[in-house]
Amino acid sequence: MRLPTYRRDEESQPPVHWPDYVSNPGRAPKRPLVLMPQRLTEITGPLLGAERVGQHDNDLTVQHVGEPQGQRIVVTGRVLDGDGRPIPDTLLEIWQANASGRYHHNGDRHPAPLDPNFSGVGRCMTDAAGRYTFTTIQPGAYPWRNHHNAWRPAHIHFSLFGQAFTQRLITQMYFPGDPLFGQDPIFNSVRDPKARESMIASFDLDATVPEWALAYSWDIVLRGKNPTPLENEEDEDDD
């Protein structure tokens, strides 16, 4: 069997061990990861989601009776693979803090106001060209006790499936020019400067909605395929 396989891009990814993030050393596995060649289970994956997306799931500002507090923003972009091919019909799930930097979660004890009109949760499917759009509120920065006076730069959490188990990604989108980048061990866990910067959205004047909302654009790149299906180990196994 000849299988398409997905390129490794270790350079762009944070390490397993990153002690600057204080909850990492007690959880990161101590033994080295075992390199696993991709087989059928890894090159397939769940193709689902359309049935999970409700009418207001891509507009986090209209999910309640009233309008949420804060700066309205549009976040738009494309989901691509490493070869620039758009990934259509794939589910994106997002969650974020409100304008004051507080999550709608019991465990969040940051003494900033909750907003009864903001849950901070969104979902959408990419269209045929791999495009997605969310309307939301600019999230606030929040303190998190990792080190003295630690603050997370403003961010939106993104979860994506792509088309294969191998492409699964959970990440965070950041905003340009955030003064908190320098002290954030999560952002800085990505050592390659080009990869680190690719987590930052661009201000997008063209997508801005006059008299209504600022806009940011952010493309997300999932792992690309190896150029030609390699002779897979599966062949050897069948011998």
Partner 1 sequence: MTEPLVTTSSQTVGPFFAIGLPWEDGPFVVPAGTPGAFHIAGRMVDGTGEPVPDALIETWQADPDGRFDHPDDPRGAVSSGFRGFGRCATDVNGRFEFLTLKPGALPGQAPHVDVSVFCRGMLRRLVTRIYFPDSDNSADPVLALVDSEFRHTLIASVAPFGYRFDICLQGQDETVFFDV
Q: Does position 180 bind partner 1 by CB under 8 A?
A: no
Stretch in the footprint of partner 1 (CB under 8 A) among 6-14, 64-72, 124-132, 206-214: 6-14
Q: Which two tokens stand for residue 160?
A: 């994506």
Q: What is the DSSP string of 123-155?
A: EEE--TTSEEEEEEEPPPPEE--SSTT-EEPSE
Q: Does position 238 bind partner 1 by CB under 8 A?
A: yes
How many residues belong to the site for partner 1 (CB under 8 A)?
A: 86
Find the binder of partner 1 among 74, 75, 94, 141 (CB under 8 A).
94
CA proximity to 99, closest of 52, 61, 62? 61
Catalytic residue among 104, 131, 157, 196: 157
- Tell me how long the chain is: 239
Find the binder of partner 1 among 181, 196, 203, 204 (CB under 8 A).
196
Find the binder of partner 1 among 58, 163, 175, 201 (CB under 8 A).
163
How many other CB atoms sit within 10 Å of the CB of residue 82?
Answer: 16
Catalytic residue among 6, 21, 132, 142: 142
Which x/- pattern over 71-90 shows residues binding partner 1 (rule: CB under 8 A)?
A: ---------xxxxx------
Q: Which two tokens stand for residue 232?
A: 């897979």
- Measured distance CA(214)–CA(216) in Å, rounded: 7
Q: Does position 231 bind partner 1 by CB under 8 A?
A: no
Host H or E run for residue 43? helix 40-43
Comparison of 21 and 132: residue with beta carbon closer to partner 1: 21
On the 0-12 / 13-18 / 19+ scale of CB atoms within 10 A, 49 is middle
Q: What is the DSSP string of 46-85?
A: ----GGG--TTTTBTTSSSSSPPSS-EEEEEEEEEETTS-
Find the binder of partner 1 among 87, 199, 207, 215 (CB under 8 A).
199
Identify whether 105 is a catalytic site residue: no
- Measured distance CA(237)–CA(119) in Å, rounded: 50
Comparison of 33 and 205: residue with beta carbon closer to partner 1: 33
Stretch in the footprint of partner 1 (CB under 8 A) among 68-76, 105-113, 125-133, 206-214: 105-113
Q: Does position 113 bind partner 1 by CB under 8 A?
A: no
Q: Does position 24 bind partner 1 by CB under 8 A?
A: yes
Looking up tokens 């060649």 gives 37
CB of 210 to partner 1, least distance (A): 30
CA proximity to 3, closest of 38, 50, 29? 38
Q: Which two tokens stand for residue 190?
A: 């990505």
Within 123-152, the residues that bind partner 1 by CB under 8 A are: none
Looking up tokens 């403003």 gives 154
Comparison of 181 and 208: residue with beta carbon closer to partner 1: 181
Identify whether 216 is a catalytic site residue: no
Return the active site residues: 103, 142, 152, 155, 157
